[in-house]
Amino acid sequence: MIAAAPGNLRVVGREDRRFRFMPRFRGRELGLLGVVAVTLYVGAVSLGATERFRESLADGEGGPVDLSTPADPGLLLTYIAALFVVHLAFVLSGRRTDQLLLPAVGLLGGIGLLLMIRLPQNLAGSLGGLAQTQLVWLLIGLGIIAVLAIAVRNDVWLRRYKYTWAAVGVALLLLVFLFGNETNGARLSLTLGPISGQPSELLKVILVVFLAGYLSENRPLLVEESTRIGPIKLPPLPYLAPMVAMWAIALGIVIVQRDLGAALLFFAVFLLLLYVSTARVSFVVLGLGAFVVGAAALYFLFGHVRTRIDVWLDPFADPSGAGYQIVQALHAFARGGLIGTGLGGGLPTIAGRPPIPALHTDFPFAALGEELGLVGILAILGLYLVLVQRGLRIASAAQDEFRAILAAGLSLVIGVQAFIIAGGNLKLIPLTGITLPFVSYGGSSLLANAVIVGLLIALSERTRDPLPPPRRPGRLRRLFDRGAA
Amino acid sequence: MDAALLAIWVLRLIFLAMLYAFLFFVVRALVRDLRAAAREPTMELGRLVVVASPSGEPPSGSTFALDAVTSLGRDVNNSIVIEDEFVSSAHAALTYRGRAWYVEDLGSTNGTFVNGGQVDGLSPLAFGDEVQLGQVRLRLERARP
Amino acid sequence: MALDGRRSASHARPVTGSPPSWAGRRIGIGAALGRVSLALAVAFGGLAVGAGYWQVIESSNLSSSGDDAAVIAAARNVKRGEIFDRDGERIAWNKRDANGEPYRVYASTSLSHVLGYSSRQYGTAGLERAWNAQLSGVVSADPLRELTRKFQANPSDPQSLTTTVSLQLQEAALEALGTKRGAVVLIDPRTGEVLALVSNPTYNASGIADPATATRIFDRLTSDERQPLLPRATQGLYVPGSVFKIVTAVAALGSSAVGPNTTYDDQPSSERRGWLIDGFRVRDGHHEVTGDKPLDFAEAVEASCNIWFAETGVRTGGDVLAEWASRLGFGSPLKFDLPTATSQVTNGEGDGPGGFGDRVELANAAYGQGQTLVTPLQMALVASTIANDGVLMRPHLVREATGRSGTTTIGPEVASRVLLPGVAAEIGSAMRLAVNGEIGRIFTAGAALRSMTVAGKSGTAELDPGTRPHSWFIGFAPYEDPQVAIAVLVENSGGGSVKASPIAGDVLRAWRAWARP
């Protein structure tokens, strides 16, 4: 009998790849970052001019208005500089990684920063106002992207410890269940000592890592048909367990945490990944069925779910109560019209505050819809679509299933999350309190999405190129080997 | 005052136009990459023919297209899964480096053999060479044009 | 030999029998990724359609609605136009609070029932409500500019208003009412311009407009049993009593049902025990001074003879009375800057002509009792019609709205030609007697002035037993060249007409001083 050797595939040739300083020019990324910088600068100039123009109108003077100075140039230029620093780090690292993700994410983050500069600074933020706090988080996020994209060359730590990651995720969930702080009836944030954040943001990354590990390992078995319920062919029952567990966790999040957005995101990404790894439509149908059943049960059993759905169906029934936020959001879209009011031109304040209290976290899409108009938000939707397509492209070019499912999951998280919140803002689906990736204000969201982008860039390294030939062992080594033999 | 208003209008439109310019460049790059991938010759660098496989998995006579890194073993995560009781879960890897193929034993219990000789570490592999893992024998062949 | 790839445990697809392809190497993943990416693109297409729906199709509906934050914010942030009285005195302007948002300040509490208030918490009332669009600048004075509004950075064009009221007269009228509940209306009969419109008790509109004090003051006002928020002059409905005899006179003389010399033979004899109609006795209280002489129209007005008017009403007929009253504005809300209650001759529920229940109701209505209910403004219009040779001018409170884009002027407008000038002169002459005649003076003591001739009619509105009657005076001056019509109401003032008449005298004296600088 031969015992199976323990462990997984060792990354071949690791010992041959000693660090060599070999910068690699990234022309495409540089060019796109140039466009990003110019775009953001124009946006800031437009914002500054509009704000000064409005002030001069409010004062009733109408004297000459300074039209050339951007709004809050320090913050924006710092951000643009940071983008180029990350680019430089990529160049110096010499990895052949994706060149579109950083500019696309950089533009979204920059638009978010412009929005934060434009909103009343006292909305949130402890570091001298909304925009400054957001900039700090953006810079940390860019740092995370750089570190992950350059340093992650090995996925064993993700792949091998998938159950550890799952445990960490469940532990995080339990922590939130037990100690979460409630905001607006939803238990979303967790405060541990000086650190507070929204664990569901981190949880989505952990979930994808776990699913990638689990699905890539059990893919052949999941595809096997050994259980049949009528016309539905199912995988062997034990392999259904994670599906059921996932469904239960999503329900649990809704019931205990009242976080509909996270539950929807997790379940949607789970189903999509299940489909990606098995190509079985029946799973998706089954999952959707379970979703409908669960949703219906929740609707009848839990008041907060019912309220949410009823408000979604007819927010105008109670425009100043339960439907207030969504009605205000729809009004914001309507005010924007085709080309918007221009940055700084919309978003009326009442008593110094925007009518939607959570504008900076839950409704930046509506805010952008007002100030950039339909034309502007179509471009922003396009940016998210580009991000996702790029991520899926990285997935389809990945070396193995784990990496493919991981890359697909990471990019789908961004796409689905953007869809859920944008759809919620637009009353296409019930409104949930999740963030618009890279644009919304908030550290947890920015950091988690930075982790995603960093991993995606790292996964995008083009390994299909021939590996470098093995270097001949040094003479000393050969002597040593011979001696040992 | 009206000149200022006009200037602000122009700035707004330039900003929107810049967003679309960026989108245009990104989409162009995306499309170019996709086209390039489609144009690229098949990435097949070689193929592996199953000469003998007593267990039937992989079935003898079947052929596998090879990637730059191909892992062999009993574990389902391997590129080529070999159901043989003398094969370790992560048994061996075939790698294409520079312009040549190499085989590497990944610390298997029963070792990997090339043309009958046991492989120690990374060892070059020529087309036509036969690799044996447990009872399974595979032959490296040139990719078909 | 050819194998089903899906059943093979190997991820590397056996290529035998099928074309080698890199993309197809991993069954499912490539194709599935393609489908997922397509699905997501479709979902995003859905977002685009949704955005298009709200931003293009529903755009103008939502963004122009009153619930829109921009409309609300505009109302809050735009400095509303200032309001001036007819003498150029500023009577409403703005201050800024800690957030830099403006709030309203008003010159005098005597104006509260005219101007109303504009409050963040409690919305708008009065002229602030009626002219909200112009004051907040949502509507422009220039229609062409209205079209191009969307393309302007600051589309609002707040307009300032010039009202027809005089702050000086408002304060004089309020002072004349003193602590009594009631209303005073002064109208220029030639133009319909309302010179004063006072309701008492009044309230502190500035306090409601100031966000710091609004809640406290508003709560106190709504719980005040004296109802200071009720605009009595325009929305208070009162039994008119004898002042309604002028309306009956308009109908009777206007329709020629009776003439100025009509007398009723049974009138003097009925004075002691009351005039019997269908079992109801119409009573009177002037027999001591008029004796057994049958009264003609002018004498009946002077003595305020209920029996003469009851008989006239019955002779005129309910339908004619209701018809002529409607020419004076009864029966529907007045076309006015402020909302008005509908004055009625009868509640209209009866089967008789004009909606009267029976002849008793008609007879009672003819001298201002019955189901008749009127607003002080309506009674001022009656006096104004008589003063203006029988022509009723449309009452209005605003003369001009001036914005950046121009000025809108509201000029005099004939509402209705009610009477021939000769008939109006007959009634006016009778009203002069009612104030200045030997007998009339007793009823209207205090209304007659030394400086000019006042014509008018007083009234005492009998209410339910145990409730003190309302006191009325309507009239105009100077008799020779009428320039002002007046209506005064004092609620539950007690017996006699003595309460309203002296107040009217005071107000007309103040008008005289104001008109002759």
N-to-C CA span, chain B: 71
- The owner of tokens 């239960």 is A248
Within an 8 Å CB–CB cutoff, is residue C22 touching chain B?
yes
> Which chains lie within 8 Å of chain C at 3 or more CB pairs, if any?
A, B
Share of chain C above pLDDT 70, in %: 89
* A6 exposure class (CB count in 10 Å sphere: 0-12, 13-18, 19+): exposed
Spatial contact of C16 and C2, defined as CB atoms under 8 Å apart: yes
Cβ separation C14–B58 shorter than 8 A = yes
Report the alpha-carbon distance of residue A443 to residue A449 in Å, rounded. Answer: 10
How far away is chain C from the Cα of A46, in angstroms, using its nearest Cα? 13
The three-state DSSP-derived secondary structure of C224-279 is CCCCCCCCHHHHCCECCHHHHHHHHHHHHHHCCCCCCCCCCCHHHHHCCCCEEECC
Average pLDDT rounded to a whole number, residues A381-409: 90
Q: Is C419 helix (H, G, I), strand (E, B) or coil?
A: coil
Q: Is C283 helix (H, G, I), strand (E, B) or coil?
A: coil
H or E stretch including C492?
A: none
C27, HSE (Cβ side, Cα atoms, 13 Å): 19
pLDDT at A379 over 50: yes
Report the alpha-carbon distance of residue C500 to residue A284 in Å, rounded. Answer: 85
Cβ separation C33–A277 shorter than 8 A = no
Q: Strand C160-163 relative to strand C83-84: parallel, antiparallel, unpaired?
A: parallel
pLDDT in tens, A73-87: 899 999 999 999 999
pLDDT at C344 over 70: yes
Within an 8 Å CB–CB cutoff, is residue C41 touching chain B?
no
pLDDT at position A195: 63
Higher pLDDT, C352 or C275: C275
Average pLDDT rounded to a whole number, residues C158-184: 94
pLDDT at position C27: 44
Q: Strand B69-73 relative to strand B80-81: parallel, antiparallel, unpaired?
A: parallel
**Contacts with C65 from chain A: Cβ below 8 Å:** 331
Longest dimension (CA), chain C: 137
Report the alpha-carbon distance of residue C397 to residue C130 in Å, rounded. Answer: 11
Within an 8 Å CB–CB cutoff, is residue B90 touching chain C?
no
Rg (CA), chain B: 26
Cβ separation B79–C12 shorter than 8 A = yes
Spatial contact of C169 and C482, defined as CB atoms under 8 Å apart: no
**Contacts with C214 from chain A: Cβ below 8 Å:** none
| Strand order across the beta sheet in which B69-73 lies | B80-81, B69-73, B92-97, B100-105, B122-125
Mean pLDDT score of chain C: 86
Q: Is C308 helix (H, G, I), strand (E, B) or coil?
A: helix
Cβ separation A379–B89 shorter than 8 A = no
pLDDT at B76 over 80: no
How far away is chain C from the Cα of A340, in angstroms, using its nearest Cα? 9
Evaluate if pTM is beyond 0.80: no
Report the alpha-carbon distance of residue C369 to residue C238 in Å, rounded. Answer: 10
**Contacts with C21 from chain B: Cβ below 8 Å:** 42
Q: Strand A181-183 relative to strand C406-409: parallel, antiparallel, unpaired?
A: unpaired
Please name the member of C1, C12, C20 whose beta carbon is closest to the beta carbon of B42: C20
C173, HSE (Cβ side, Cα atoms, 13 Å): 36
Please name the member of C14, C22, C152 whose beta carbon is closest to the beta carbon of B64: C14
- The owner of tokens 């009777």 is C252
Within an 8 Å CB–CB cutoff, is residue B61 touching chain C?
yes
pLDDT at position C400: 92
Share of chain C above pLDDT 90, in %: 58
Cβ separation C11–B67 shorter than 8 A = no
Backbone dihedral angles phi then psi of residue C124, each to the nearest 5 degrees: -130, 160
**Contacts with C15 from chain B: Cβ below 8 Å:** 47, 63-65
Residues counted in chain C = 517
Cβ separation C15–B65 shorter than 8 A = yes
Please name the member of A278, A392, A426 whose beta carbon is closest to the beta carbon of C47: A426
* Residue whose C-alpha is closest to residue C337's, from C392, C382, C398: C398
Please say whether the dihedral angle defined by the alpha carbons of residues A336, A342, A344 and A345, taken in this order, is positive or negative: negative
Which chain A residue has the Cα nearest residue C34? A392
C119, HSE (Cβ side, Cα atoms, 13 Å): 24
Report the alpha-carbon distance of residue A244 to residue A231 in Å, rounded. Answer: 20
pLDDT at position C13: 43
Q: pLDDT confidence of A8, banded at 50, 70, 90?
A: very low
Report the alpha-carbon distance of residue A301 to residue A297 in Å, rounded. Answer: 6
- The owner of tokens 């730590």 is A157
Cβ separation A337–C59 shorter than 8 A = yes
Report the alpha-carbon distance of residue B78 to residue B90 in Å, rounded. Answer: 7
Spatial contact of B108 and A5, defined as CB atoms under 8 Å apart: yes
Average pLDDT rounded to a whole number, residues C474-496: 89
Which chain A residue has the Cα nearest residue C26? A401
Report the alpha-carbon distance of residue C471 to residue A329 in Å, rounded. Answer: 56
What is the ipTM metric for this complex? 0.88
* Residue whose C-alpha is closest to residue A340's, from C58, C46, C55: C55
Spatial contact of A50 and B8, defined as CB atoms under 8 Å apart: yes
Average pLDDT rounded to a whole number, residues C213-234: 92
Range of weakest confidence among A75-79, A244-248, B46-50, C414-418: A244-248
Within an 8 Å CB–CB cutoff, is residue C66 touching chain A?
no
Mean pLDDT score of chain A: 82
* Residue whose C-alpha is closest to residue A455's, from A417, A403, A386, A418: A403
* A151 exposure class (CB count in 10 Å sphere: 0-12, 13-18, 19+): exposed
**Contacts with C16 from chain B: Cβ below 8 Å:** 61-63
- The owner of tokens 């979204």 is A108
pLDDT at A484 over 70: no
Using CB atoms and an 8 Å cut-off, which of residues 126-145 of chain B contact chain C? 143-144
Instruction: Give the distance from CA A99 to its chain's centroid.
Output: 18
Q: Strand C194-200 relative to strand C414-417: parallel, antiparallel, unpaired?
A: unpaired
Ranked by mean pLDDT, the top range of A64-78, C70-84, C394-408 is C394-408
Cβ separation B109–A470 shorter than 8 A = no
SS3 content of chain B, % helix, strand, coil (to 5): 25, 30, 40
Among B30, B63, B66, B71, the strongest candidate for a mutation testing the C interface, having the largest count of C CBs within 10 A, is: B63
Cβ separation B62–C9 shorter than 8 A = no
Report the alpha-carbon distance of residue A16 to residue A20 in Å, rounded. Answer: 11
**Beta-carbon contacts of residue C20 (< 8 Å; ≥ 6 apart):** B42, B44, B47, B65, B143, B144
Paired residues of C485 in beta bridges:
C187, C476
Range of weakest confidence among A26-40, A214-228, C335-349: A214-228
Spatial contact of C406 and C142, defined as CB atoms under 8 Å apart: yes
Cβ separation A42–B19 shorter than 8 A = no
Give the tokens for residue A45: 């100039």
Cβ separation A351–C9 shorter than 8 A = no
Report the alpha-carbon distance of residue C203 to residue C175 in Å, rounded. Answer: 14
**Beta-carbon contacts of residue A334 (< 8 Å; ≥ 6 apart):** C54, C55, C58, C59, C60, C61, C62, C63, C68
